[in-house]
Structure 1
Amino acid sequence: MKKQTKWMMMLGLASVLMLSACNSNNNASSGDKEPGSNSESFGKQVKYEIIGIDPGAGIMKATNKALQEYELTDWKLIEGSGAAMTATLAKDMKNKKPIIITGWTPHWMFSKYDLKYLDDPKKVYGEAEEIHTLARKGLKEDQPVAYTFLDRFEWSSDEMGEIMTAIEDGEQPEAAAKKWADDHSDRVNEWIKDLKPVNGKAIKLGYVAWDSEIASTNLLKYILENKLGYKVTALQVEAGPMWTGVAKGDIDATAAAWLPLTHADYYEKFKGKFDDLGANMTGVKTGLVVPSYVDINSIEDLKK
């Protein structure tokens, strides 16, 4: 009888140990889940906040529309700046935390981090965009050399990315643009072929403080000054003043017009008051962006 009782006690102890081990394994498994393993937990982890940029940017207007179209009533778009957005992204990705931002390409963050766009089945952000070059009325007659160069200028997101990455790594924009032009003299020669340099004529370029536009404007400035003899003033302004300046003739040109979505309101407001020289880059994109380690794939996944 004593042997039977002892055996039963040992069996009971073994059962308790096995149950404890199972609970321990289950707890470990739940703790090992990837960030944002379902839409509800993802929303809670990011406090239902989308990290945005400047309140006047077209992508912010599109994102507010997306919140309405997808009925994301619990979500809030946080206004800030491009620099603040990328700083928050860097911090959260370093700690493998979930985050959702307003993003666009070309941008250096896509080469530095493993990111993905959320699918947009309602096409709130539209199809792929283009970056256009605009000139003030009369520039073709007043400054034909500059106008022809700007009209010819076009490049790829990969080419722009080389300058953006160099700047992000600590190089000054002017130095990064010069290095790119020196390393790609064949491309530069295509744009300035048969153009006779001028002797110190002044020209003003307007641009917004986006990494992509800092790269392109510094490249244009370098070529206009060092290959075509111009004295260039590069004015960093908000999108509204940039478009207004070109339309009123206070700014000679800009290579920073995002169309047809991001700057759609400005295009319609000033239509007919500027020369559209066409796209200097195609296939650019805007939308909501998350780290690839987050397992949501569509804006629709954000809805509770």
Structure 2
Amino acid sequence: MFNVNWKRLGMVAGLSLSLVAAGCGSGEEESGSSNEGNNGDSGAPNYSEEMDYTITGIEAGAGVVSSAQSAVEEYDSLNGWEVSTSSSGAMAQELTSAYENEEPIVVTGWTPHWKFAKFELKYLEDPKEVFGGEEEIKTMVRKGLEEDMPNAHKILDQFEWETGDMEKVMLEISEEGSSPEEAAKNWVESNSDKVEAWTKGAEKVDGKEIELVYVNWDSEIASTNVIGHVLQQQGFDVTMTALDNGPMWESVASGEADGMVAAWLPGTHGSQYEDHKDDLVDLGANLTGAKIGLVVPKYMDVDSIEDLQPAE
């Protein structure tokens, strides 16, 4: 059965709960007031003041937050703006509330994420390429795993899926109220061909303990539970532990944890990778075509970061 490491989960729970109300204020102006006035010469509505010149972010250690902070420095249109850090859950709550009320909001976003299946959203164009190009989500394991647990190593090495696969699991959790374990089980049962490719050549074991770590994002909850369920089916006693970005990388690099399928590169976890790349084993991408950037609802008449307006 799955085991959840509650002691280490507590490292992130307090932060997420205490900051759940953080994010972007919608202002006190009446609905529709955001359409009054233009943003300089672009002709785009001036939403910026209504948003209190705030980008709603996630955890402070995330690469997308660091990139958003760099964007504030790089773009004249974001002069005087702030990036409000909280958690991925708090960001999603702020986005949901704004979307339901058709209020303007800018969030730090990434793909895959269930919000793109639930809401009509778009990335703001990034002409200065502060957020970089496409990302990969990679699998990292501790040194010595191949020798200690060759069957687990093989499964983790062969694990790969697509954006649509991950978003199905995320959406079942967020929309249908399924637990991560149940959503993962349902996906595995419906995708036996992919699971067979992951487990090809790997023998079953009898209760061998393995620990996977992940950052507490919807995408990584989905992927870790799916691969965790597959490992469980192969006879492993799986523990899954949620950590902040830094401790997640440190635990695998130090050998305290066995692996993770949650490494966003080259941008999101770039600094953590540089710090620990010599102390872990890179098994390559388990998902390609990921992306990070600033995201807004499609009902907002802005298409580029440069369409926003600096604080006065």
TM-score interval for Structure 1 and Structure 2 normalised by the shorter chain: 0.7 to 0.9
> Secondary structure of the residue that 1:41 maps to in structure 2?
coil
> Secondary structure of the residue that 1:233 maps to in structure 2?
strand
Alignment of 1:248-263 (within 5 A): 248-263=254-269
Letter in 2 for 1:91: S
> Secondary structure of the residue that 1:154 maps to in structure 2?
coil
Q: Which has the larger helix fraction?
A: 1
> Of 62, 76, 96, which aligns to 2:67?
62
Kindly tell me the number of residue pairs found equivalent between the two proteins.
273
TM-fit CA distance, 1:33: 7.7
Alignment of 1:83-98 (within 5 A): 83-98=89-104
Cα distance in 2 between the residues matched to 1:129 and 1:287: 11
Cα distance in 1 between the residues matched to 2:290 and 2:148: 31
The answer to which of 235-244 and 40-49 deviates more is 40-49
> Of 256, 260, 265, which aligns to 2:271?
265
Aligned to 1:291: 297
Alignment of 1:57-206 (within 5 A): 57-71=62-76, 72-169=78-175, 170-206=177-213
> Of 42, 55, 58, which aligns to 1:53?
58
> Secondary structure of the residue that 2:48 maps to in structure 1?
helix
Q: Is the 8 Å Cα contact of residues 152 and 191 (structure 1) preserved in structure 2?
A: yes
Q: Is the 8 Å Cα contact of residues 139 and 263 (structure 2) preserved in structure 1?
A: yes
User: Compared with structure 1, are the counterparts of its residues 214 and 35 closer, same or farther at alpha carbon in structure 2 (3 Å cutoff)?
Assistant: farther
Cα distance in 2 between the residues matched to 1:113 and 1:223: 30
> Of 240, 243, 257, which aligns to 1:234?
240
Letter in 2 for 1:178: K
CA RMSD of aligned residues (A): 1.5
Q: Which runs of 5+ in 2 are unaligned?
A: 1-30, 40-44
Aligned to 2:282: 276
TM-score by length of 2: 0.85
**Deviation digits for residues 209-236 of structure 1 (CA, Å, limit 9, x no counterpart):** 000000000011111011x110011011
Q: Is the 8 Å Cα contact of residues 36 and 296 (structure 1) preserved in structure 2?
A: no
> Secondary structure of the residue that 1:271 maps to in structure 2?
helix
> Secondary structure of the residue that 1:167 maps to in structure 2?
helix
The answer to which of 282-291 and 70-79 deviates more is 70-79
**Deviation digits for residues 194-221 of structure 1 (CA, Å, limit 9, x no counterpart):** 3210111111101000000000000111
Q: Which runs of 5+ in 1 are unaligned?
A: 1-30
Cα distance in 1 between the residues matched to 2:61 and 2:71: 16
Cα distance in 2 between the residues matched to 1:145 and 1:78: 43
> Secondary structure of the residue that 1:258 maps to in structure 2?
strand
User: Compared with structure 1, are the counterparts of its residues 253 and 94 closer, same or farther at alpha carbon in structure 2 (3 Å cutoff)?
Assistant: same
User: Compared with structure 1, are the counterparts of its residues 196 and 119 closer, same or farther at alpha carbon in structure 2 (3 Å cutoff)?
Assistant: same
**Deviation digits for residues 126-158 of structure 1 (CA, Å, limit 9, x no counterpart):** 000000000100001110000000000000010
Letter in 1 for 2:110: W
Aligned to 1:301: 307
> Secondary structure of the residue that 1:220 maps to in structure 2?
helix
User: Compared with structure 1, are the counterparts of its residues 38 and 144 closer, same or farther at alpha carbon in structure 2 (3 Å cutoff)?
Assistant: farther
Cα distance in 2 between the residues matched to 1:67 and 1:34: 21
TM-fit CA distance, 1:303: 3.6
Q: Is the 8 Å Cα contact of residues 46 and 309 (structure 2) preserved in structure 1?
A: no
TM-fit CA distance, 1:34: 7.2
TM-fit CA distance, 1:117: 0.2
Q: Is the 8 Å Cα contact of residues 221 and 232 (structure 1) preserved in structure 2?
A: yes
> Secondary structure of the residue that 2:47 maps to in structure 1?
helix
Aligned to 1:42: 47
TM-fit CA distance, 1:35: 4.6
Letter in 2 for 1:177: A
> Secondary structure of the residue that 2:140 maps to in structure 1?
strand
Cα distance in 1 between the residues matched to 2:71 and 2:36: 20
TM-fit CA distance, 1:41: 2.1
**Deviation digits for residues 55-88 of structure 1 (CA, Å, limit 9, x no counterpart):** 1111111111010011322211111111111111
Letter in 1 for 2:240: A
User: Compared with structure 1, are the counterparts of its residues 185 and 105 closer, same or farther at alpha carbon in structure 2 (3 Å cutoff)?
Assistant: same
User: Compared with structure 1, are the counterparts of its residues 131 and 62 closer, same or farther at alpha carbon in structure 2 (3 Å cutoff)?
Assistant: same
